[in-house]
Structure 1
């Protein structure tokens, strides 16, 4: 029986799009479409701009476009900047125990453009990265967030390296080295949530995946048992101290974890741990036509790990507000929506929003995390100044989740909302259709954002 690292490498080396179930390819296209939308929306955020200012344009075969400007950079640099943009608004999808698309898509689009690969192969690479990530997550009984690790940065780097190994068509030996190099490059701390460094985690993971594959392709070596060794990846990052290291066949290429776990598309540009409560609060506000003056207290019951991530109880900036349950509930009550417009510093600091945040009380009622299929539901109840208590039924699956998905029109609506003002008339619809139908694209260089400079706002 070969070890985990070797099994993963052999899976990557033998993967062909025809062997991947349609549901997985379609889900990868869903994640790609949504990620490009939020990438474009986040392309002019301060975090994206500051990283972009450090990078010089490039020319030649190993380049890829910034999205949506079309400026060409070295592919790893394009993945870095586009990855930061994709995560800058925290509006990207959620799956497994992190944000798969925000690391996989920037790397795959950048390196795939440089290599001139097909849309089908790009989707297969996405699935490969997702499958390895999901397997690694299943072997750890603890939660990386509890130890302070950002899974998107730590597991996402290994996953992105795996995806890039598929793009390069590496054999098993070089694919194993790619995985092992990536395993040493992933890093990111939960303590940096609510700052520009969180999206930097995503950009660096995307960049590192490309670096790992390019090094391995040139003969760079690394440990052949890096994942399972007692001083290796799983044990080093284990919050429980007891990762499952038993040798066995892990079923990569036969068991498709994506078909079960899928992706959760965000309806709100905040940490996903707020979404179930937002759904409930918006329902209560609409059903009872609530105004802030009528409300004495908003009580939220959520998971302990969720509340640990939602560390900002009195945010003063839009970035901080993304990780605040208090703000999420206040926005739902005051604005009757929780969208990009509400994530401004000015809105966060409004006196009526601050007053509403002070009415929110949060309690840990379970140990789950939104987006995980076995997570218990979150709860919301509102006590009115009259003493009446309004209770929403517990919410287990947020709108847009794998179990409660958006319609195609809903996905298109989010896409167009994200790219409005960034893309010329007609180009947004055309790009949406290209991405949804990515399997039919012969070469990633044929994608609209990859063939011409796109107008962007100043």
Structure 2
């Protein structure tokens, strides 16, 4: 029986798109399109531009483009910069207790550009990476966040190596080494949430996946049991200290996890751990016509692990506010929305926002949802304690709007994409969304209007 590392390598080398369920194709196409829109919006932020300044230009024949600048970098470095852009706003989609699209898509764009990959190749690479991530997450009964590891950074690195191994058409042996290499490159700490470094987690995972596949193709080797060895990835990164490493056929490419877990598209550019509570506040505010100045206290019941992620109690910047429960409660109640316009330093530091944040009281439960891949409580609950003594309770929220179980319509997906990309692409925004919504017909990554418009 082949070990876990080699089974993943074989899956990457022998992946067949023809065997993939329609739901997986839908999820991959949604994830890629949504990520590219968010990436374009994030490209204007300081973090990716600082990263860009540290990178060395190469000629177009050897490089891949940084979106939306006119710069050409080595494919791994292009994946790094674009990965930071994709994650810096925290507007990218969510699944598997992390952000699969924000690492897979930048790497697939960069490696796909270098390899001349088709739209079908992009979909296949995404699904191969996603399925690998899902398997590894299933094999670990604990939650990576609890040990301080960011799943996007650690599992994302290995998933991206699989995606790039597929795009580079590695042999089984080469792909196995790429997986093993990526296991030593996987890193990222929850302790850096609420800072620029969180978005670097995504960029480095994308970069490392490209690098691992490229090195393996060039003949670089690693231990072919690096995943399952007693000092390998699965045990050293295990929150439970009891990963499921029983020898067996993991049936990669024959049993599919993506139709069940899917892709959860974000409606708010803020940590996903807040989204159910935001939905609850907005619904209660609208139903009861609540004015912020009539509320004495906002009570939130959420999960203990969610609270661990939301470390900033009194944020002073837009970036800090992305990892706060207090801020989105105040923003939703005051402004009736939590969008890009609210996630600014100016809005966060407004006196009325700061004062209302001080009236948000968060309590937690250790209970976890049993039917979700997020380490969240079964529901999030919100109560407004009014100044006249009344208590108004929102309906508990199990899944936020935009989740795989409550999917956005195609029109809603387009609306978010245009909102993110319009300032960068202008008139080309709609055409790009149409291309991304029909990736199976795209002849080459290089045909995407994303590049011809942004790099013109």
Q: Which residue of 1 aligns with 2:430?
A: 429
Give the 3 Å change call, closer, same or farther, for CA 288–454 of structure 1 in structure 2.
farther
Q: Which residue of 1 aligns with 2:332?
A: 332
Deviation string for 1:289-332 (max 9, x for gaps)? 21121101111111110000000000000000000000010000
Between 69-78 and 23-32, the greater mean CA deviation after superposition:
69-78
Q: Which residue of 2 aligns with 1:239?
A: 239
Give the 3 Å change call, closer, same or farther, for CA 423–76 of structure 1 in structure 2.
same
Q: What's the CA shift for 1:75?
A: 1.0
Q: What's the CA shift for 1:368?
A: 3.3
Q: What's the CA shift for 1:451?
A: 3.0
Q: What's the CA shift for 1:120?
A: 0.4
Deviation string for 1:236-270 (max 9, x for gaps)? 00111111111111111111101110010000000
Give the 3 Å change call, closer, same or farther, for CA 171–432 of structure 1 in structure 2.
same
- SS at the partner of 1:424? helix
Q: In 2, distance between residues paired with 1:453 and 1:395?
A: 40
Calculate the aligned-residue CA RMSD, in Å. 1.4
Matches within 5 A, 1:48-63: 48-63=48-63
Give the 3 Å change call, closer, same or farther, for CA 344–390 of structure 1 in structure 2.
same
Q: What's the CA shift for 1:226?
A: 1.0
Q: Which blocks of at least 5 consecutive residues in structure 1 are unaligned? A: none
Between 89-98 and 9-18, the greater mean CA deviation after superposition:
9-18
Q: In 1, distance between residues paired with 2:235 and 2:333?
A: 44
Give the TM-score taking structure 2 as reference length.
0.97
Q: Is the 8 A contact 2:60 2:72 kept in 1?
A: no
Give the 3 Å change call, closer, same or farther, for CA 191–49 of structure 1 in structure 2.
same
Give the TM-score taking structure 1 as reference length.
0.97
Q: What's the CA shift for 1:22?
A: 2.2
Give the 3 Å change call, closer, same or farther, for CA 368–63 of structure 1 in structure 2.
farther
- SS at the partner of 1:341? coil
Q: In 2, distance between residues paired with 1:453 and 1:334?
A: 36
Q: Tell me which of 390, 397, 406 is aligned to 2:392.
A: 390
- SS at the partner of 1:238? coil
Deviation string for 1:167-197 (max 9, x for gaps)? 0111111111000000100111101101100
Q: Which blocks of at least 5 consecutive residues in structure 2 are unaligned? A: none
Matches within 5 A, 1:40-439: 40-368=40-368, 372=374, 376-425=378-427, 427-439=428-440
Q: Is the 8 A contact 1:313 1:326 kept in 2?
A: yes
Q: What's the CA shift for 1:121?
A: 1.0
Q: In 2, distance between residues paired with 1:453 and 1:308?
A: 39
Q: Is the 8 A contact 2:342 2:348 kept in 1?
A: yes
Deviation string for 1:353-411 (max 9, x for gaps)? 01110111111124437863985111111110111111111111100000001000000
Q: Which residue of 2 aligns with 1:444?
A: 445
